[in-house]
Amino acid sequence: MPRLHEVGEGEVLRRLIAARGPWSGVVVGPGDDAAVLAPSAGHQLVATVDAFVEGRHFVAGLGTPGDHGARLAAASLSDLAAMAARPRWALLSMGLSPDHDLAALLAFQAGVRDALAPFGAGIVGGNLSAVEGAEWFDLTLLGEAPAGQAWTRAGTRPGDWIAVTGHPGRAGAGLRVARQITGAAGAPEWETLLASWLRPTPRVTLALALAGSVGTRAAIDISDGLALDLSRLCEASGVGATLEHWPPDPLLERAAAALGTTHDALRFGPSDDYELILALSHDRLEDLGRAAAAHGVPVAFVGRVTGEPGRISVDGAPLGPSGFDHFRS
Ligand SMILES: [Mg+2]
């Protein structure tokens, strides 16, 4: 396939738009100056944006363009899951080298499109720019929630339970294994860890199944690491947390041994897992367990909310916020 500079902006846009298809709730779609969208009656818009920059959020040669697109979509989908909002419309803005391969670009957009579609969202607009340095991809995702019912990070109180979905730490561990262990990419024993990073599953379906439940008092998604994101939830709610008796993850134990680190450094440290941390009242634990089982989502009840603001402990030992910091690391 040709490079972008060989076909020109107009043709690139035509090919991108043709591959997006029509979407519901779109009054005026691609081809005009802006999209006109029709939210459902009685709902509020919930908006999020995520940028992926070459060399930081995706690595050329690690994963396909489709994988990179799916991860970009997962980042925004996960934010809407953390707010219990239903994804609907996405705007995709991209800074691309004129040498970018058109087929690779279409594969990237297909990765975004195919990751959004199962959750009810489609790409309804976007923007293209040529760049000379690192390429970037930026996805704005709009969702909706019944008025007043979006979850937030604030609202949990001492005595509530803390639950996490999936296996936090695996995405970060998978990325480290792929970067640091020769031959790990493609090796069967690291396949599950690598897939956690390359193809995360945002927990939109579970969140929507729980949406409106008065038992979910606060939520956040894990996009920078469990310790950091839990500390953000605690800060917003003015509480602390104590985690106890959470069985180790065998895949993290194996990765820790291979990487020369500890299981807990991987579990609590920098990792964009796109899992959810939920704080809920004691009488709703069974509801969450049932909903998670019905949707095939692993869930662990890992601890309790405490009245000591800012203090987070794991089996009695203090846990610092050690997640990913975009400007420090
Ligand atoms: Mg988030």
Give me ligand 1 centre to Cα 117, in Å: 20
What mean pLDDT do residues 310-328 have?
Answer: 81
- List, for residues 75-94, the tens digit of each pLDDT value: 999 999 999 999 999 999 99
Q: What integer pLDDT is reported at residue 164 of this predicted model?
A: 98
CA distances from 23 to 35, 43, 173 (A): 11, 19, 36
> What is the Å distance from ligand 1's center to 174 Cα?
20
Residue 243 confidence class, pLDDT cut points 50, 70, 90: very high
- Residue 101 CA to ligand 1 center (angstroms) comes to 31
At 298, list the tokens. 């692993």
Confidence of residue 193 (pLDDT cuts 50, 70, 90): very high
Mean pLDDT throughout 231-237? 97
Please tell me the predicted confidence (pLDDT) of residue 323.
66
What pLDDT, on the 0 to 100 scale, is given for residue 186? 85
Q: Can you give the three-state secondary structure of 270-302, one letter per residue?
A: ECCCCEEEEEECHHHHHHHHHHHHHCCCCEEEE
Largest CA distance in the chain: 62
Mean pLDDT of 284-309: 95
* Distance (Å) from CA 274 to ligand 1 centroid: 8
Q: From ligand 1's centre to the CA of 132, what distance in Å?
A: 30
Tell me how far apart the alpha carbons of residues 40 and 244 are, in angstroms, rounded to a whole number.
42
Q: What is the mean pLDDT of residues 180-209?
A: 94
Q: What is the DSSP string of 92-150?
A: EEEEE-TT-BHHHHHHHHHHHHHHHGGGT-EEEEEEEEE-SSS-EEEEEEEEEEETT--
- How many angstroms separate the alpha carbon of residue 62 from the centre of ligand 1? 24
Cα of 220 vs centre of ligand 1, distance in Å, is: 6
Q: How many helices (H) and strands (E) does the chain have?
A: 11, 13
Distance 44 CA to ligand 1 centre (A): 18
108: pLDDT strictly greater than 70: yes
Give distance in angstroms: CA of 12 to centre of ligand 1: 32
- The Å distance, Cα 103 to ligand 1 centre, comes to 31
Query: 221 C-alpha vs ligand 1 centroid, how far in Å?
Result: 5
325 or 261: whose pLDDT is higher?
A: 261
Confidence of residue 321 (pLDDT cuts 50, 70, 90): confident
How much is the average pLDDT of 116-125? 97
Per-residue pLDDT tens for 20-72? 988 999 999 988 899 999 999 999 999 999 999 988 777 777 889 999 999 99
The answer to whether residue 194 scores a pLDDT higher than 70 is: yes
What is the pLDDT of the chain when averaged over all its residues?
94
